[in-house]
Structure 1
Amino acid sequence: MLSAFGRDLQAALATRPRSISPKYFYDAEGSRLFDRICELPEYYPTRTELGILGRSAGEMAALAGPGAEIVEFGAGSLHKVRLLLQAFDAPARYVPIDISGEHLRDSAAVLRGAFAGLDVQPVVADYTQSLQLPPATGRGRRIGFFPGSTLGNFTPDEALGFLRHAADLLRGGALLLGADLVKDPHVLHAAYNDAQGVTAAFNLNLLARANRELGANFALPQFAHYAFYNAPLQRIEMHLLSRVRQSVSLAGERFAFEEGETLHTENSYKFTLDGLRGLAQRAGFRPGPVWTDPDRLFSVHWLHAPQGVSA
């Protein structure tokens, strides 16, 4: 029986144009490669957002209040949340949610060692789907944390759906949301086409994962990483481009690729401040303070969730 990854990849290969969710990047190897991307000189989002959090964590802590519970969507390596945990007043609990279970458990163990006494309850789940959080602690407000502009990986409709779901989960609390901003296309191009080829390896790892987990026979040298800024849609697009005419086998089926045909693996939408705040309002949030870097490359938003008891 095929896994969810196998079923979704099979469906993607059977349709035109071909496209698959970027959530499948994040097996253990993909998560490791993404950690390397975050350290690249061309990849400004991580260090820029860390700078914003470092300068403004005290203000964020004051908004959160004492005894807050932090719920991080797509937690990854748990680096950025450390700035919040250090600044917040006696946080009651930290709930990281991520689809990559092995990577999440390892990161959670490291975090427990760094924050003795902190209740860390990792949840291995796809946060884009309906999920159940542990019952609220009752000590403070539930604060969602969604850094890295991961919201930009969703289609506009998916982004609205995620924010509506988050607003319901966080009732009575707030969401701290990172959002990458519209900027010079040359800066964007460099960020997704780094000189060391780490982003290319990250993209191609999706095919390597299919070979490892699903018994597919993708010939990685016959595919190329292809990323560009689609200005009218205000998004980076990442594709895997077939260098030659070829066929691929998956679960007993064969799928043909023409030369130049692509598998679309990711979008990364960029936002304006007003556009993001308007989207949040449509989802039920009340926009609060927003913090940016001096060059206005990136933004972090405080979004007040609707009142009521959180789920």
Structure 2
Amino acid sequence: MSLFRITRTLPEDATGAALRADVLGGLTRSPKTLPPKWFYDARGSELFEQITELPEYYPTRAEREIIVDRAGDIAAATGARTLVELGSGSSEKTRHLIEALTGLDTYVPVDVSASALEQAGRALTEAHPGLHVHALIADFTAALALPDTPGPRLAALLGGTVGNLLPAERAAFLASVRGLLAPGDALLLGTDLVKDESVLVPAYDDAAGVTAAFNKNVLSVIDRELGADFDPGAFEHVALWDARNEWVEMRLRARTAQTVKIPALNLAVEFAAGEEMRTEVSAKFREEGVRSELSAAGLELTHWWTDAEGRFALSLSEVR
């Protein structure tokens, strides 16, 4: 019997339907917005991997440092027999946790990409004979049903991904995660921390222009999937620090006045010269704020670890 299986919880056309709904809703409001999840087609994922290696982009290195240093502490604190990773992608960083969790029985990676789940799942079952991998093709921000696996469970959302959610969305997400967990279970959460603007903005506006290409790639996705006629070259990448909300915003700014046609939606979208469309929010956090948000969701922060430079944090919280 194979120790690897994939369960699809998303309908076959769920991704296409969600893209159509997000583009229609986002481009007909003012100011215009697009959600960041549409960056990540094959090309976008490749560009993001390049971003993680850039000198300006510290979060991936900082989080990996914490995981490597603290994997044993996380294992000792949780005794997890099931690890559920939300937005697992390649599962690369999680391998350190899997090695440290000596009593681990089951790994449940959750992602919208079937190909990423297949590749990571096969590799993990080969590297860890006896580990059950039950992958879920699912959107972790929507209602999620986990397979029946042994407890205690450790749910993990890494990479600072929680910062891409607006405050109300974060509250709903954390409450939904709490609903998946039982007493004795825990949540491991990666959060990028508030720091000087001179460090934050270059992480989203690198000198080599890789993040600019990543940002514009969302237009190519809409062109390909919805038959639109966006010209990525007609937009420029913008990254700025919003000190009031303590988040970095990525935007695309129209270089000229233009009309974009999206045949799949029977939609024509007008852009004024200089008009900006928000494509991502990346919130930055403070320990007291994370503690408060977790508490509101019914979780108690019990451990807080940062990298040596205090740029990024991993928190461990338990069901109250």
TM-score range, shorter chain: over 0.9
- Give 1:233's aligned residue: 245
Distance of 1:284 and 1:28 partners within structure 2: 37
- 1:143 maps to a residue whose letter is L
- CA positional deviation for 1:27: 2.0
Counterpart of 2:193 in structure 1 is: 181
Which residue does 1:6 correspond to in 2? Answer: 20
Kindly provide the amino acid, as one letter, of the partner of residue 233 in structure 1. Answer: N
Residue in structure 1 matching 2:283, options 246, 263, 269: 269
2:115 pairs with 1:102: yes
Alignment of structure 1 residues 23-102 onto 2, 5 Å? 23-65=37-79, 68-102=81-115
Report matched runs for 1:133-212 at 5 Å: 133-135=146-148, 137-138=149-150, 140-172=151-183, 173-212=185-224
Q: How far apart are the structure 1 equivalents of 2:164 and 2:270?
A: 27
Whether the 8 Å contact between 1:68 and 1:92 is mirrored in structure 2 is: yes
What are the superposed Cα offsets for residues 53-85 of structure 1, whole Å, 9 maximum, x if unpaired? 1111111000121x5100011111111100100
* Inter-CA distance 104–205: structure 2 relative to 1 (3 Å threshold): farther
Which range moved further: 119-128 or 27-36?
A: 27-36
Q: Deviations over 1:17-68 (max 9, x none)?
A: 1112212222222222222211211110011011011111111000121x51
Moved more, 108-117 or 287-296: 108-117
SS at 2:154 equivalent: strand
1:309 matched residue in structure 2? none
CA distance in 1, matches of 2:224, 2:133: 31
**Is it true that 1:254 corresponds to 2:265 in the alignment?**
no
Name the aligned partner's letter for residue 129 of structure 2: A
Deviation at 1:4, TM superposition (A): 1.6
Separation in 2, partners of 1:63, 1:231: 35
How far did residue 128 of structure 1 move?
Answer: 0.5
Q: Partners of 1:110 and 1:214 in 2: how far apart?
A: 34
Runs of 5+ unmatched residues, structure 1 = 307-311
Quick check: 1:132 aligned with 2:145? yes
When the two structures are superposed, what TM-score results if normalisation uses the length of structure 2?
0.91
Q: TM-score, normalised by structure 1?
A: 0.94
Partner of 2:308: 294
Gaps of 5+ in 2: 1-12
State the alpha-carbon separation in 2 of the partners of residues 112 and 245 from structure 1: 53
Aligned partners of 1:296, 1:206: CA distance in 2, in Å? 32
**Pairwise CA distance, 1:3:** 2.5
Cα gap change, 1:241 to 1:104, in 2 (>3 Å): farther
- State the shift of 1:290 in Å: 0.6
Q: Distance in 1 between matches of 2:67 and 2:193?
A: 16
> How many residues matched?
303
Aligned residues: CA RMSD:
1.4
Q: Which amino acid aligns with 1:159?
A: R
Q: Could you tell me how far 1:6 is from its partner in structure 2?
A: 1.7
State the match for 1:221 in structure 2: 233
Cα deviation, residue 90, structure 1: 2.6
Q: Which AA in structure 2 matches 1:212? A: R
